[in-house]
Amino acid sequence: MPLTELTAPLGLKRAAHLLHRATFGPTKDQIDVFATYTPAQAVTQLFGQALPDPILPIDPETGTEWVLTGTTDANSGDSDLQEFFKGWALGQMLSTGITPGKSLAYSAREKIVFFMHSVLTTIQTKVDNSRSLYFQNQLFRQFALDKTLAATVNFKELTKKICVDNAMLRLLDGNLNVKGSPNENYGRELHELYTIGRGLEGTLPPVTDPGDYFLYKELDVQQAAKVLSGWEVDITFSNIDPDTQLPRGKVRGSPTNASAHDNTIKQFSERFNNIIIQPDPILLNGTDATEASALDEISQLIESIYSKPETARNICRRIYRHFVYHSIDTALDNSVIQDMATTFTNNGFKLQPVLEELFKSTHFYEAAAGVDDDSFGGIIKSPLDLMIGTYRFYNLQLPDPTAAAADFYEKTNDMIRTISKMGMNFYEPFDVAGYDAYHQFPIYHRSWISTNFLTERYQFIRNLMGQAMPVAGIDVVGFVQNNFSNATASDARLLIIELAKYLLPVNDNLTFDTAADDSSGLTAERMNYFLTAFLKSPQIDPDPEGSWTFRWNNPVDMEVVINQLESLLNTMMQSPEYQLF
């Protein structure tokens, strides 16, 4: 089977690889600890811990939360509250306020929450409501770690819940979809983007029938729109889902008379075996649709979509592209993706078992040999991964989001602006398919890179060196002192080798000797480039390496020591290799 389990201890390279992909990034100490684990032990640490719910976001105008209790005239305007929500979301990715022992596991959960957002996406300016954004984010969190929860907590059930989620109703005009005037936006994207898809990209035959999308037809979109009709956004957030205890949309009319829901029989195409979806007579109020009957029809619709094997495959392709690599050919689709889909289906469409199997597999760590292996350093970091991962590696802290909320949001607003400059409009993807890097065939993650975006990535790194914005800069001397032995720190070559093991994804057989070089990926020429950047000095220095050793061991000229370390870290972190993970 393609997804056989790797049972050997991870070691540094594989531990770093796992923690960069499965979380928003580790510290050096965390990589060192996980290097001693087998993949199974590592997965238990990441996904087997009881985690706290997030502390609620605080409005600095009132000093209290607003997402549960609502707003008053004393609150900030909702446009500000939306920005506070996004800043709060960044804080969750950074595990702000979480004890060190749970920080990685917390981050792993937030990585899954972000994955869900990248698939079942939303657009801030279309939704335009801070509470809707928050409750959707919290909905994802409830379904993120689903393995040991009730059987009804799974990705299929999440798909049912998202159909009547306030943010989704607004995003795809579900609130405009009424009996007699169906709006097909959500029904179309439900099929094409969120569930069954249109097959493996790059392998699709030419369209011969404009109404046939290979796995579903235009008729199915039309009938789905009727199933989904009759809902509106609940601006009071008082209609509570009994399963999640979170607010959801409400039916137009009343719970006992869903007057805008199309109550007719819906006949689907042969792609869905000509199934019929109709209201359950037991749930009707006489002949009138009810909230319960409308929800039951949505459940029938989602069950029919998930009954098709291609739905599981399509969702597993999204998982693979997010956590492993974008390229999926027919052979991979019929082996690894099919294995993942089988696990997904056999576990009642729970997401966590699929991720755990993937992160324990030999395939995840050793898909190919040498520089042809896209497992390591194959994905261009998103601006979000670059920023959050860098902050986490250097343990950069934000102000307390409760005690110093205004300061916290000032810093996170700067972070959001920086992420935007690097090419990612956080919570504002270009369209309803989500951020291009996670779905746009054939470029995928290459959409993160342009001349301007790359310049901003490098500027972000430069700004972290000794700067005050967006957070206190990196204390380079303290970082080296706290993470490396004096014997390593005082030896320029050893220090570069050790840093490369943690900063750069491909780091086998590191050497400065071109005669001893091999094809492991990071060349001796590259290592000597880092060495030159490190040892350049403001004065003529006949023995640069010896001088570094002397300065480190005799810290009388700390300005030069700081400048040299900043030059080294700037060079390594502005390298193309650091932009990958």
Where are the domains positioned within the chain?
144-279, 383-440+447-464, 480-579
Each residue's pLDDT tens digit, 283-342: 999 999 999 999 999 999 999 999 999 999 999 999 999 999 999 999 999 999 999 999
The dihedral over CA atoms of 472, 473, 478, 480, expressed in degrees to the nearest 10, equals: 150
| CA distance to 310, 334, 365, 438, per residue, from 354 (Å) | 16, 16, 16, 18
Half-sphere exposure of 92 (CA within 13 A, CB side): 24
pLDDT tens digits, one per residue of 18-40:
999 999 999 999 999 999 999 99
Q: pLDDT of the chain along its 581 residues, tens only?
A: 579 999 999 999 999 999 999 999 999 999 999 999 999 999 999 999 999 999 999 999 999 999 999 999 999 999 999 999 999 999 999 999 999 999 999 999 999 999 999 999 999 999 999 999 999 999 999 999 999 999 999 999 999 999 999 999 999 999 999 999 999 999 999 999 999 999 999 888 877 888 999 999 999 999 999 999 999 999 999 999 999 999 999 999 999 999 999 999 999 999 999 999 999 999 999 999 999 999 999 999 999 999 999 999 999 999 999 999 999 999 999 999 999 999 999 999 999 999 999 999 999 998 544 445 566 888 999 999 999 999 999 999 999 999 999 999 999 999 999 999 999 999 999 999 999 999 999 999 999 999 999 999 999 999 988 654 445 689 999 999 999 999 999 999 999 999 999 999 988 889 999 888 887 778 999 999 999 999 986 566 789 999 999 999 998 888 899 999 999 999 999 999 999 99
CB atoms under 10 Å from CB of 534, counted, come to 23
Mind listing the pLDDT tens digit for each residue in 503-562?
999 888 899 998 888 877 789 999 999 999 999 865 667 899 999 999 999 988 888 999
pLDDT of residue 368: 45
pTM, rounded to two decimals: 0.96
How many helices, marked H, and strands, marked E, lie in the chain?
A: 26, 8
Q: Which amino acid would we find at residue 72? A: T
Q: In the prediction, which pLDDT does 210 show?
A: 84
Break the chain down into helix, strand, coil percent, rounded to 5. Answer: 55, 5, 40
Check: CB of residue 191 under 8 Å from CB of residue 219. Answer: no
Which pLDDT value is given to residue 61?
97
In 3D space, the residue among 153, 150, 128 whose CA is nearest the CA of residue 142 turns out to be 153
DSSP for 56-90? PPEETTTTEE-TTT---TTSPPHHHHHHHHHHHHH
The pLDDT value recorded for residue 209 is 84
**Which residues does 451 contact at the CB level (< 8 Å), separation at least 6?**
none
Residue 468's pLDDT is what? Answer: 44
> How far is residue 13's CA from residue 581's CA, in Å, rounded to a whole number?
11
Take residue 103 and report the two structure tokens written for it: 């920080």
Which residues, listed in sequence order, are joined to residue 434 by a DSSP beta bridge? 431
- pLDDT reported for residue 74: 97
pLDDT for 369: 43
CA angle, 114 as apex, 456 and 442 as ends, to 5°? 65
**Alpha-helical regions (H) of 190-234:** 218-227
Consecutive H or E run containing 258: strand 257-258
Side-chain-side CA neighbours of 151 within 13 Å: the count stands at 4
Distances (CA, A) of 166 to 75, 175, 256, 296: 21, 9, 20, 18
Q: Which of 10, 3, 91 lies closest to 43 in space, CA to CA?
A: 10
Number of Cβ atoms within 10 Å of the Cβ of 54 = 22
Which phi and psi (to 5°) does residue 291 adopt?
A: -60, -40
CA-to-CA dists, residue 504 to 15, 44, 110, 511, 525, angstroms: 13, 25, 23, 14, 15
At residue 9, the pLDDT reads: 96
